[in-house]
Structure 1
Amino acid sequence: MTHLDSRNLPLSTKSDLAAERYREGVDLLLSAWPGAAEALDEAIAVDPDFALAHAARARLHAVRTELASAKAKIAKAEEIVSRHGTERERSHVQVLSLAISGQAAKALERALDHADRWPRDILILSLPLGAFGLFAFSGMSNHDQARVDLCERHARHFNGDDWWFLTYLGWAHAENGNVTHGRKLTERGYELRIDNANAAHALSHAMYEAGAGEDAERLLANWLPRYDRAGILHGHIAWHSALGALERGDPERALAIYENYIQPSVTAGMPVNVVSDTASFLWRLQAYGHTVPAGLWAAAATYSAEYFQKAGFAFADVHMALIAAAVGDTAAVGQRTEALTGLIDAGALAAGPVVPAICRAALSFAEEDYPGCVRILEPVAAEVVRIGGSGAQREMIEDMLLLALMRSGEVVKARQLLDHRLHRRPSPRDMRWQAMLTA
């Protein structure tokens, strides 16, 4: 009897239970839901020669930044498929191995080739997708469009009823500006599997991009209690709720969400989310004119000191610089900027000069040198997309430029940027700022 995965691809295991637990584990992994580790560990225990179970477990370790464990598990998967694995399984393991070993460009190339041959192998198809996927962190300026193109190229293989695919197809469209269509698709994916943190997250993004902040807040307020706090996206999804409260002009509510669900001492999130969510929330709170309680920036700095000290991960670099600037560590910002410039000179930073520019601008903003911030940030504003992440995450950099323009007396330019933003996405905060500029 041939065992199949959840998308009807054959699996090299003779165990019914191992195949069942693998299917469950992968779906839990791809919905960012607790229990994936236990399911995959049981699949491995039942069949220690089940290569794809080892590979999926390696992927989960990598998502949690448990790199030593990820490398050990993927090495085991490689050893097994070298002895007895199908062509698809060997390719599957190789793509994950490249991603785990940090060879992102090669991993992206091989993942796209693999998807052309086996489009329903969704663990591999997932790698280029999402705000933290291989496309987003490739340094490409058109990664939003690239995700849409990839999903649409393979849509015919999913028959319009796959919860995972609909979620990512909708998210890709919403991030790329086709918000109404993206929200409709994402809502369908969410309905098909509500116990799916990626779907709730994607739907909140679609609502945010549509200017439906209150819809997003209601969605998350109703949904988040069903998601265990051990879930890796729990804190980040709460971050969206906190941003919604800030948009409405309710900093007390936003700060309560931060303290209860987002700050490093209370979240089980991925380090990249914890660093970026803490930095960007506290920056917004302060930049919008509210008081950051004593100790919160210091706690973010203490946590971040354990991660991303080596420059070269553009999205993390920007948020590490924000934290360093906020706590007055100008030397750290300078060292990171110098290291990034060296990587650019060596052709080793795909996102390019926009990354050290944002780091320098963050320091200028923190030092209240608003004209200096404008001089640094305005020329590279169109390139911010290269750092990856989502539109909601990158909007902070646009806020930095807008506030720097306002505080520098550049009223005409500030109005032009605000008009563009309000046309793209109605925002209560932007409307308040527009009223200030026209008063």
Structure 2
Amino acid sequence: MARLDRRGLPLSTTSDRAAERYREGVDLLLSAWAGAAEVLGKAIAADPGFALAHAARARLHAVRAEPAQARASIARAAELVRERGTEREGSHVETLSLAINGQSRRALDHALAHLDSWPRDALILSLPLGAFGLYAFSGMADHDQARVDLCERHAPHYAADDWWFLTYRGWSHAENGAVGQGRALVQRGFDLRKENANAAHALSHAMHEAGAGEEAERLIAEWLPSYDRSGTLHGHIAWHAALAALDRGDTERALGLYGQHVRPAVSAGLPINVVTDTASFLWRMQAYGHAVPEGLWQEAAAYAKPAFAQAGLAFADAHMAILEAATGDRDAVERRVAALMGLIEAGSYAAGPVVPAICRAALAFADGDYAGCARILEPVAAEVARIGGSGAQREMLEEMLLLAQLRGGEAAKARTLLDRRLHRRPSPRDTRWLGLLAA
């Protein structure tokens, strides 16, 4: 009797225990929940020759920013799948191998081709999706639409109660502007499986896009205690609540959440989340006119410097420049810009010139050269999506442009941008800024 994965695809293991542990481990992996490593380890112990269990563990290592372990596990999976694996499993392992070994463009192409043949292979479908997925980090300006198109193309192959697919289909729609539709889908997925950090995260995003910040705060306050602090999204989900508190002017609560969950000293999150969350929270706090407590900028910069010393990952590069500029390290920003220009000239930087522009704008903003910041950012504002991440994360760059226009004497441009933001979603902060313009 064939053993099957959670969505009915055959597995090349003769062990019922290995198949059961694999299904459970992939569920934990896809929900960013604690225990995935241990459960996948049990699958491997039950059947050491089961290639897909090794491949899932490789993906988990990659998600947890453990590249050496990821490469070792996927290499073992590749050996085993040649000895005992189906065509689908061989393609599955090859796709993961390309992603893990840094061949992102080829990994995306291979994933899309694989899904045309095996659309219910959820672990492979997860690769292009998400704020840090292959689409988001492809350098495409329209990656939000691409995710929606991919989900809709394969939606007929997923059950109406598939909690994982509901979560990512909904998140994709919410990020692409269909906030009501997206939120409803995510809510269904969350209701089906509450032990799912990706659903809580996606719901927080949908609430943000709907202007329901206080609702997001309540959701996170109720749900976060159930999520182990070792979970990769623990600090990032708390960051969402901190932003919502900051948005309504409660700096004490915002700083409390930052200090308890987000700052490098307490977060067990991935380096990319810790660096980008700390940089964006502190930048927002300072830009909104609040004093950043002494030492917080320096702590964030000290953590970030070894994590992303080399330029090359667009989303990280933009946030690193903000940290470097805020702490007065002008030379570091200029070195990063020079390195990025070299990568662009070599054709090996998919996001293109928008990121060096962001770096220069961050430096101008930190120097108080608001007119200069606006001049740099305005021509690339429509291209900011190319850095990847989510709308909530990239919103900081839109606010940098808005504040630069407000403070640089370009009231008409600021009013146009504010009107567009308020039309997209109501915000207490935007309303206050509109009052400043009216005055």
TM-score range, shorter chain: over 0.9
**Which amino acid counterpart does residue 382 of structure 2 have in structure 1?**
A
Residue 168 (structure 1) shift: 0.5
Task: Specify every segment of 5 or more residues in structure 1 that has no aligned partner in the other structure, as ranges.
Answer: none
Find the counterpart in structure 2 of residue 413 from structure 1. 413
Residue 222 (structure 1) shift: 0.9
Find the counterpart in structure 1 of residue 105 from structure 2. 105
* Local SS of the residue matching 2:360: helix
2-side partners of 1:50 and 1:330: how far apart?
Answer: 51
Residue 52 (structure 1) shift: 0.5
**Which amino acid counterpart does residue 96 of structure 1 have in structure 2?**
L
Find the counterpart in structure 2 of residue 315 from structure 1. 315
Find the counterpart in structure 1 of residue 157 from structure 2. 157
2-side partners of 1:212 and 1:302: how far apart?
Answer: 34
Find the counterpart in structure 1 of residue 435 from structure 2. 435
Residue 159 (structure 1) shift: 2.7
2-side partners of 1:203 and 1:46: how far apart?
Answer: 36
Find the counterpart in structure 1 of residue 86 from structure 2. 86
Find the counterpart in structure 1 of residue 222 from structure 2. 222
* Local SS of the residue matching 1:306: helix
Find the counterpart in structure 2 of residue 183 from structure 1. 183
Find the counterpart in structure 2 of residue 66 from structure 1. 66
Find the counterpart in structure 1 of residue 32 from structure 2. 32
Residue 41 (structure 1) shift: 1.0
2-side partners of 1:24 and 1:121: how far apart?
Answer: 15
For the 8 Å contact 2:275–2:300, the answer to whether it is kept is: yes
Residue-by-residue CA offset, 1:101-151 (whole Å, 9 max, x unaligned): 000000000000111111111000000001110000000011000000000
Residue 172 (structure 1) shift: 0.4
Residue 306 (structure 1) shift: 2.2
1-side partners of 2:276 and 2:194: how far apart?
Answer: 26
TM-score for the superposition, normalised by structure 1: 0.99
2-side partners of 1:352 and 1:108: how far apart?
Answer: 18
Residue 225 (structure 1) shift: 1.0
Residue pairs, 1:131-210, within 5 angstroms: 131-210=131-210
2-side partners of 1:56 and 1:360: how far apart?
Answer: 40
**Which amino acid counterpart does residue 384 of structure 2 have in structure 1?**
V
Find the counterpart in structure 2 of residue 10 from structure 1. 10
2-side partners of 1:192 and 1:119: how far apart?
Answer: 22
For the 8 Å contact 2:214–2:245, the answer to whether it is kept is: no
**Which amino acid counterpart does residue 315 of structure 2 have in structure 1?**
F
1-side partners of 2:11 and 2:132: how far apart?
Answer: 28
2-side partners of 1:302 and 1:45: how far apart?
Answer: 40
**Which amino acid counterpart does residue 74 of structure 1 have in structure 2?**
I
* Local SS of the residue matching 1:74: helix
Q: Which portions of structure 1, spanning 4 or more consecutive aligned residues, are displaced by more than 6 angstroms? A: none
Residue-by-residue CA offset, 1:168-210 (whole Å, 9 max, x unaligned): 0100000000111111111101101111000011011111101
Superposed CA RMSD? 0.7
2-side partners of 1:151 and 1:335: how far apart?
Answer: 40
Find the counterpart in structure 1 of residue 356 from structure 2. 356
TM-score for the superposition, normalised by structure 2: 0.99
Find the counterpart in structure 1 of residue 340 from structure 2. 340
1-side partners of 2:302 and 2:53: how far apart?
Answer: 36
1-side partners of 2:294 and 2:11: how far apart?
Answer: 54
1-side partners of 2:82 and 2:307: how far apart?
Answer: 34
Pairing 1:370–2:358 present: no
